[in-house]
Amino acid sequence: MFKKGLKPMAVWLIAASLLLVLGACGSTNTNGDTGGAGNQGHAGEMDHSNMNHSGSGEVPEGLKEAPNPTYGIGTQAIIDSDHMAGMKGATATIVGAYDTTVYTISYTPTTGGEEVKNHKWVIHEELQNPGAPPLQPGTEVVVNADHMEGMKGATAKIDSAQQTTVYMVDFTPTTGGEEVKNHKWVTESELSPVQS
């Protein structure tokens, strides 16, 4: 199969390189319909490799723009969260600011696989017939958002809720690569001012 004289170490290096390349392909999707929250399936740690990082910029019906957001549209802020590789420390441009209730949720993808726990973030307006906010932890809901493959239509359990301003942002990952457009969502507490 391999050329005569190819040493076992070289074979291992080639195999390891292929695994790294294939792994990178699975974590750099920036052409999905919406973006924002992440996947989690291993010991409670966030893994956004299957997230649709970029989005159309469309927002759910009924979502209200924040009248006086801390970070106005067109301004920049530093992202302090690490929902996905290359996000923490990136400079974001604010493209939308909305006042709503945000939730962390746990759900089993409609496509199968492990349960996703404490997924950040889904907003109240992305839930099917949710009633009045905030929903209490333990409440079961159906998710209308498609931030992740297998999320839309999944039955989820509310893990936590908070009333805050959420932002849709554009940013270039600190790890390089294409600009992420219309990423949903980053909360106000996950942003900090750009130091001049």
Q: Which CATH architecture has domain 8-193?
A: Roll (2.30)
DSSP code of 178? S
The Cα-based distances of 81 to 75, 106, 154 in angstroms read 18, 19, 25
The Cα-based distances of 60 to 30, 146, 173 in angstroms read 21, 12, 26
Q: Which helix (H) or strand (E) holds 180?
A: strand 180-187
Q: Convert the pLDDT of each residue in 137-157 to its tens digit.
A: 999 999 999 888 899 999 999
The Cα-based distances of 134 to 118, 147, 154, 158, 186 in angstroms read 17, 21, 20, 10, 18
Q: Is 184 helix (H, G, I), strand (E, B) or coil?
A: strand
What are the structural domain ranges in the chain? 8-193
**Which pLDDT score, from 0 to 100, does residue 28 have?**
31
Mapped to the 3 state alphabet, what secondary structure does 46-85 carry? EECCCECCCCCCCCCCCCEECCCCCCCCCCEEEECCCCCC
What residue ranges of the chain have pLDDT lower than 50? 1-3, 6, 10-47, 49-50
What is the pTM for the complete model shown? 0.74
Task: State the amino acid at position 116 in one-letter form.
Answer: V
**Which pLDDT score, from 0 to 100, does residue 7 have?**
54
